């Protein structure tokens, strides 16, 4: 029965080309926009290499020292983050790293701009970098301030062309480092791992960073299990009020939070990370539903028009004993198939759009691709359109009286 229902659906599509075109156009365009948005969010917040441990990671990206009249806020300082290590003894590791800093080098007389990040040795155990050459620097390299560096593929190409970089010297920000490893490029939107050049924190030109509670650093706390995250978050929250600040400041704020919650807190300008994350999720879902509402309503109207055009056909089938259930199944199957076809067109359009964004270079090192998660979301969206937009028209069709339908009446 299902096979014949599907065959009949395709015959209907070909017989009513205008309705088919309008439906496919609305579905595919809507899904292109939604799938590109989902792929973008997944690219920023999804667990993709080298950030594959997000499900058990908390980050400290913000700190503020305030008083009744003054406020100093920004990135956390090294001293505060180094103290945090002692607050969470059950964590697998705590990694401290700087924000990416723009530095200038000169290669064959040409000025080259790069982003440099200073990290500890734990940084390379936190992230799953794939090394194209060599390997990471170690805790001992950081402890002994060894002038070593890991660079990305683009930096290797800018400094050494097609030659190997391992063991060679690179100059950045007036300092010289020996290259010990080369890794693939990391997109700019991945704030934690992103850089062109990574060097030990201890190679900083001064050690003033060691006394700062607000500065230019960040940290990630890696729990042994996702279930440990609430406890670690509460441990940090309990100790933060005791952080000493210098006059004129009297209070200190920081929080261990997920990357998404951190973004949400910045987005809303709030100090409440978890509540901000929930609000942002609701906002994203709400905007997606509103964006889908108009094309869904239009699709319902198109489907109702298709029914009205097929009143006589429905009347004949009912007169020959077709049940309401079989008629509803026919129409719902038609709608689902139509939406899946539209979804396939939308998928192709989204892939083309993402490829164009990647080639444009608007976001350094970004490579927007579809993975299993994004494809699953796309399939769910297509099925949503098919089912939701087909329920009311199918119900209305099932209530038609055979006599009225044969005479062309729809009430």
- Do 122 and 219 have their domain in common? yes
- Do 98 and 229 have their domain in common? yes
- Do 42 and 68 have their domain in common? no
The pLDDT of residue 323 is: 67
Q: How far is CA 314 from CA 5, 40, 369, in A?
A: 14, 45, 45
Which of these ranges, 199-203, 208-212, 279-283, 385-389, has the smallest mean pLDDT? 385-389
- Do 318 and 371 have their domain in common? yes
Structural domain of residue 161, as residue ranges? Answer: 62-256
Q: Is residue 179 part of a domain?
A: yes
- Do 139 and 245 have their domain in common? yes
CB 76 within 8 A of CB 191: no
For residue 318, name the pLDDT band (cuts at 50, 70, 90): low
Q: Which residue has the tokens 């199918």?
A: 394
Q: Is residue 54 part of a domain?
A: no
The average pLDDT across 302-307 equals: 67
- Do 87 and 161 have their domain in common? yes
The pLDDT of residue 385 is: 64
The pLDDT of residue 40 is: 83
Residue 356 pLDDT more than 80?
Answer: yes
Backbone φ, ψ for residue 162 (5° rounding): -90, 0
3-state secondary structure 331-392: HHHHHHHHHHHHHHHHHHHHHHHHHHHHHHCCCCCCCCCCCHHHHHHHHHHHHHHHHHHHHH
- Do 173 and 140 have their domain in common? yes
Q: Is residue 10 part of a domain?
A: yes
- Residues whose CB falls within 8 Å of the CB of residue 181, separated by 6 or more in sequence, listed in order: 131, 133, 134, 135, 136, 137, 150, 151, 166
The pLDDT of residue 282 is: 87
For residue 222, name the pLDDT band (cuts at 50, 70, 90): very high
Q: Is residue 32 part of a domain?
A: yes
Residue 393 pLDDT more than 80?
Answer: no
Q: Is residue 390 part of a domain?
A: yes
Residue 373 pLDDT more than 90?
Answer: no
Residue 153 pLDDT more than 90?
Answer: yes
Q: Is residue 53 part of a domain?
A: no
- Do 183 and 302 have their domain in common? no
Q: What is the mean pLDDT of the chain?
A: 84
Structural domain count, the chain:
2
Interatomic CA distance for residues 196 and 181, integer angstroms: 12
Residue 63 pLDDT more than 90?
Answer: yes
Domain's final residue, options 221, 256, 291 = 256
Question: 243 or 408: which carries more pLDDT confidence?
Answer: 243
Domain's final residue, options 192, 226, 256 = 256
The string of pLDDT tens digits covering residues 84-122 is 999 999 999 999 999 999 999 998 889 999 999 999 999
- Do 238 and 292 have their domain in common? no
- Do 362 and 339 have their domain in common? yes
For residue 333, name the pLDDT band (cuts at 50, 70, 90): confident
Residues belonging to the chain: 411
Q: Is residue 270 part of a domain?
A: no
Q: Is residue 261 part of a domain?
A: no
Domain's final residue, options 256, 291, 322 = 256
- Do 285 and 155 have their domain in common? no
- Do 240 and 331 have their domain in common? no
Looking at residue 257, the DSSP 8-state letter turns out to be: B
């Amino acid at each position: 029965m299902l096979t014949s229902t599907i065959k009949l659906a395709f015959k209907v599509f070909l017989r009513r080309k205008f309705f088919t075109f309008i439906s496919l156009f609305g579905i595919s365009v809507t899904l292109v926009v939604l799938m590109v948005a989902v792929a973008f969010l997944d690219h920023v917040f999804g667990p993709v290499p080298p950030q594959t441990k997000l499900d058990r990671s908390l980050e400290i990206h913000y700190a503020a020292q305030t008083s009744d009249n003054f406020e100093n806020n920004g990135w956390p300082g090294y001293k505060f983050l180094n103290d945090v290590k002692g607050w969470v003894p059950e964590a697998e590791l705590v990694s401290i790293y700087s924000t990416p800093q723009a530095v200038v080098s000169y290669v064959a007389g040409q000025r080259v701009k790069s982003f440099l990040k200073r990290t500890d040795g734990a940084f390379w155990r936190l992230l799953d970098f794939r090394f194209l050459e060599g390997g990471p620097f170690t805790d001992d390299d950081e402890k002994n301030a060894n002038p070593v560096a890991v660079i990305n593929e683009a930096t290797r190409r800018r400094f050494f062309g097609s030659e190997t970089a391992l063991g060679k010297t690179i100059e950045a920000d007036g300092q010289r480092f020996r290259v010990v490893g080369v890794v693939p490029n990391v997109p700019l939107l991945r704030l934690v791992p992103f850089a062109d050049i990574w060097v030990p924190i201890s190679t900083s030109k001064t050690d003033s960073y060691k006394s700062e509670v607000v500065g230019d650093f960040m940290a990630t706390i890696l729990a042994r299990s996702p279930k440990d995250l609430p406890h670690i978050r509460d441990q940090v929250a309990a100790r933060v009020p005791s952080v000493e600040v210098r006059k004129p400041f009297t209070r200190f704020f920081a929080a261990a939070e997920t990357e998404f919650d951190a973004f949400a807190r910045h987005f809303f300008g709030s100090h409440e990370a978890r509540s901000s994350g929930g609000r942002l999720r609701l906002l994203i879902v709400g905007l997606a539903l509103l964006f889908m509402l108009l094309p869904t309503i239009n699709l319902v109207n198109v489907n109702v028009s298709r029914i009205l055009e097929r009143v006589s056909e429905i009347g004949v089938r009912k007169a020959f004993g077709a049940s309401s259930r079989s008629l509803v199944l026919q129409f719902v199957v038609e709608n689902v198939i139509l939406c899946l076809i539209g979804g396939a067109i939308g998928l192709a359009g989204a892939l083309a759009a993402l490829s164009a964004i990647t080639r444009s270079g608007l976001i350094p090192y970004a490579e927007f691709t579809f993975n299993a998660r994004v494809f699953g979301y796309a399939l769910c969206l297509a099925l949503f359109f098919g089912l939701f937009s087909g329920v009311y028209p199918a119900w209305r069709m099932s209530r038609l009286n055979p006599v009225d339908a044969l005479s062309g009446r729809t009430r």
